[in-house]
């Protein structure tokens, strides 16, 4: 097997490690900006002013030493900054601390560490059962001109392997980013640091980039790629480079329009879900929850596979959410939606510490200055949300393939559900913030009548009524996350043990004591969703018992010690065992 893989690599054939789309769907990814995550010396006081835009000293060794911090939040994959050597030098707004100004693809960025350090990080990640994703720049190289003419003053011989002008498009400035031909053939960057644009229509350029990507994957056992600036390269080039990598890839296409985003699934498996990102920010910062409901519906209809898109609410290119609204309750809503909506959660370092940088470079704070506080409210909240997502996958692997479904939307409170009936998560989101008044609501079509749910942030139990409706009070703008109580066994939440097979005790305080409730507006059916979830449980059921009928024995639900009708016993999903090796 190993010999065959090595031969495939040497011959340029398709070479696949563990990281295909199905491997990545259950993962939850923690995005690391390498220079700002952790230092080799372990310092939590080393100065780093994000506004200066200069190297602060984060390393691969620092990441290795702080994997416990990441795994403690429930993340089982990390994404790190580009690893290649960048241009040296400083301009008025900083240097290449971020890793996105490549000069030599075949040399590592020594600011981040040595080859041994990167190999050790990869091994440590995989030893924990986690995955490693690397951000890659395949659109351009970088050159510091400090204001001189980019059309004349770039020394192409400094680039490796693209050491000749023939590999690049002639210089032109992008004046309209909606013009895709211009965006793909003109240069990004500016007059201080222009980013010479590779001629991605050229077969030789494609071959050279594909060879480098294959080497990156094999040398460091990389499980997945994030493709930076995917919008700016030729689509055939994009498809061929991703195919050559042999692993799962997420592309960055900075677009609000779902049709444009979804079109790119013809060229690579996944995209950052910008349409839902923009709607999420508007919903929780401006209070327009209807926009979020509509965006979820549009992406579900237009994209051929929403379950593989990357769900995110912050990254190194965008203002952090607390720069719009500072309330912790709203940040919790945003984090819950990021992790529990359709797709692969991608969470940016510092969200758990409620960092609030309002754009580049302020949003690239040094995490070590937080002293890696594992008692912060958002750190523990993130851990709980990742735990309930993992539990939903554990009791029903098909959870990942079940579309997010909006149940209701009224007065700034929206409810969504995801998963098959009886093993589904219901989340109630609020845009009201910490000063919002308490509101009792009644949400329709939440499941079979009398199904009991545990609300994981309070550990109180709630029972659906005869109509399959959920009565709940939303207060202080906090999200409410519900999961069937008889499926909580092994979740590690609310007093349930961590991963037992059966017999967990039921915790909670029984039915919620809500008398005055208000029916919320139900969302119209979307044809792509098919029959409404909860249809069978949306009306009271009264069945006459047949004479002399015998009661059928019902199967036990794994991890609960209870019986429940309507579904077979959930299948426990075996852990994926991945063999990684270095050629």
Residues comprising the binding site for substrate?
101, 226, 317, 364
**CA 87 to chain centroid:** 30
Residue bearing the bigger pLDDT, 97 or 578:
97
Residue 564 located in a structural domain: no
Residue 572 located in a structural domain: no
Mean pLDDT score of the chain, rounded to an integer? 86
Least confident interval from 17-21, 308-312, 408-412, 509-513: 509-513
In a shared domain, residues 219 and 103: yes
Mean pLDDT computed over 400-426: 95
Least confident interval from 279-283, 447-451, 563-567: 563-567
In a shared domain, residues 385 and 414: no
The phi and psi torsions of 441 (rounded to 5 degrees) equal -135, 165
* CATH number, domain containing residue 257: 3.20.20.80
Residue 79 located in a structural domain: yes
Token output for 404: 């997010």
In a shared domain, residues 361 and 473: no
In a shared domain, residues 390 and 523: no
From 397, 413, 430, the end of a domain falls on 397
- Residue 523: what pLDDT? 55
Q: Is 496 left (phi over 0), alpha (psi -120 to 50) or beta?
A: beta
Q: Which domain holds residue 345?
A: 2-146+213-397
Task: Flag whether pLDDT at 261 surpasses 50.
Answer: yes
In a shared domain, residues 341 and 441: no
Residue 198 located in a structural domain: no
DSSP code at position 279: H
> Which element (helix H / strand E) includes 19?
none
Q: Please enumerate in sequence order all residues whose Cβ is within 8 A of that of 294, keeping only pairs 6 or more positions apart, or say none.
A: 279
**Percent of the chain as helix, strand, coil, to the nearest 5:** 30, 20, 50
Q: How confident is the model at residue 434 (pLDDT cuts 50, 70, 90)?
A: confident
From 397, 425, 456, the end of a domain falls on 397
From 347, 369, 397, the end of a domain falls on 397
Least confident interval from 36-50, 105-119, 211-225, 492-506: 492-506
Q: In angstroms, rounded to a whole number, what is the distance separating the alpha carbons of residues 418 and 306? A: 13
Residue 438 located in a structural domain: yes
In a shared domain, residues 356 and 427: no
Mean pLDDT computed over 62-90: 98
In a shared domain, residues 360 and 298: yes
Residues annotated catalytic, as ranges:
228, 252
Q: In angstroms, rounded to a whole number, what is the distance separating the alpha carbons of residues 289 and 414? A: 7
Mean pLDDT computed over 246-268: 97
Walk across the sheet containing 413-418 and list its strands: 405-410, 413-418, 425-430, 480-484, 452-455, 460-463
- Residue 18: what pLDDT? 57
* CATH number, domain containing residue 480: 2.60.40.1180
In a shared domain, residues 231 and 269: yes
Q: How confident is the model at residue 438 (pLDDT cuts 50, 70, 90)?
A: confident
In a shared domain, residues 103 and 227: yes
In a shared domain, residues 393 and 485: no
In a shared domain, residues 135 and 260: yes
Give the three-class secondary structure for 473: strand
Q: In angstroms, rounded to a whole number, what is the distance separating the alpha carbons of residues 60 and 80? A: 9
- Residue 6: what pLDDT? 42
Is residue 461 within 8 Å of residue 452, measured between CB atoms? yes
Q: Please enumerate in sequence order all residues whose Cβ is within 8 A of that of 265, keeping only pairs 6 or more positions apart, or say none.
A: 271, 303, 304, 305
DSSP code at position 478: -
Residue 519 located in a structural domain: yes
Q: In angstroms, rounded to a whole number, what is the distance separating the alpha carbons of residues 294 and 282? A: 12
How many domains does the structure of the chain reveal? 2
Residue 431 located in a structural domain: yes
Q: What is the 3-state secondary structure (H, E, C) of 314-360?
A: CCCCCCCHHHCCCCHHHHHHHHHHHHHCCCEEEEECCHHHCCCCCCC
Least confident interval from 405-419, 432-446, 478-492: 432-446
In a shared domain, residues 460 and 347: no
Q: How confident is the model at residue 568 (pLDDT cuts 50, 70, 90)?
A: very low
Residue bearing the bigger pLDDT, 203 or 515:
203
CA proximity to 431, closest of 412, 459, 407, 411: 412
Tokens 């990640």 map to which residue? Answer: 125
Is residue 380 within 8 Å of residue 64, measured between CB atoms? no
Residue 455 located in a structural domain: yes
């Amino acid at each position: 097997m190993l010999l065959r893989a090595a031969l495939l690599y040497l011959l340029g054939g398709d070479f696949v490690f563990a990281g295909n789309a199905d491997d990545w769907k259950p993962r939850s990814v923690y995005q690391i900006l390498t220079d700002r995550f952790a230092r080799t010396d372990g310092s939590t006081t080393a100065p780093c002013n994000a506004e200066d835009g200069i190297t602060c000293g984060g390393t691969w060794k620092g990441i290795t030493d702080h994997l416990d911090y990441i795994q403690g939040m429930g993340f089982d994959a990390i994404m790190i900054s580009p690893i290649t050597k960048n241009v040296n030098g400083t301009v008025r707004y900083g240097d290449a601390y971020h890793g996105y100004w490549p000069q030599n693809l075949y040399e590592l960025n020594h600011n981040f560490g040595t080859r041994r350090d990167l190999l050790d990080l990869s091994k440590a990640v995989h030893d924990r059962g986690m995955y490693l994703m690397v951000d890659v720049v395949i659109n351009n190289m970088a050159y510091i001109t400090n204001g001189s003419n980019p059309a004349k003053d770039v020394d192409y011989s400094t680039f490796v392997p693209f050491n000749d002008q023939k590999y690049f498009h002639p210089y032109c400035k992008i004046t309209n980013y909606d013009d895709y031909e211009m965006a793909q053939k003109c240069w990004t960057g500016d007059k201080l640091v222009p980013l010479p644009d590779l001629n991605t229509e050229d077969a030789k350029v494609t071959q050279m980039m594909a060879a480098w990507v294959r080497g990156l994957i094999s040398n460091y056992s990389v499980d997945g790629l994030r493709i930076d600036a995917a919008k700016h390269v030729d689509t055939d080039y994009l498809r061929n480079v991703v195919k050559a990598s042999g692993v799962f890839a997420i592309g960055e296409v900075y677009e609000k329009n779902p049709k444009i985003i979804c079109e790119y699934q013809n060229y690579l498996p996944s995209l950052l879900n910008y349409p839902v990102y923009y709607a999420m920010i508007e919903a929780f910062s401006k209070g327009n929850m209807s926009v979020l409901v509509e965006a979820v519906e549009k992406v579900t209809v237009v994209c051929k596979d929403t379950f593989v898109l990357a769900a995110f609410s912050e990254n190194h290119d965008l203002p952090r959410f607390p720069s719009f609204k500072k309330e912790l309750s709203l940040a919790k809503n945003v984090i819950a939606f990021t992790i529990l909506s359709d797709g692969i959660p991608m969470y940016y370092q510092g969200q758990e510490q409620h960092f609030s940088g309002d754009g580049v470079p302020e949003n690239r704070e040094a995490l070590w200055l937080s002293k890696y506080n594992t008692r912060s409210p958002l750190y523990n909240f993130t851990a709980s949300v990742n735990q309930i997502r993992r539990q939903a996958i554990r009791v029903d692997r098909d959870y990942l393939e079940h579309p997010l479904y909006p149940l209701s939307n009224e007065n700034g409170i929206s409810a969504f559900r995801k998963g098959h009936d009886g093993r589904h998560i219901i989340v109630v989101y609020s845009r009201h913030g910490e000063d919002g008044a308490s509101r009792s609501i009644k949400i329709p079509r939440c499941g079979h009548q009398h199904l009991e749910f545990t609300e994981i942030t309070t550990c109180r139990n709630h029972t659906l009524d005869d109509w399959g409706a959920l009565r709940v009070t939303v207060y202080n703008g906090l999200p409410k996350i519900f999961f069937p109580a008889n499926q909580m066994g092994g979740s590690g939440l609310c007093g349930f043990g961590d991963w037992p097979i059966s017999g967990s005790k039921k915790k909670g305080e029984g039915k919620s004591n809500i008398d005055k409730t208000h029916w919320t507006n139900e969302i119209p059916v979307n044809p792509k969703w098919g029959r409404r979830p909860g249809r069978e449980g949306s009306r009271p059921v009264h069945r006459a018992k047949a004479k002399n009928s015998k009661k059928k024995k019902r199967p036990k639900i794994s991890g609960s010690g209870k019986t429940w009708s309507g579904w077979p016993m959930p299948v426990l999903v075996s852990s994926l065992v991945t063999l990684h090796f270095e050629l």
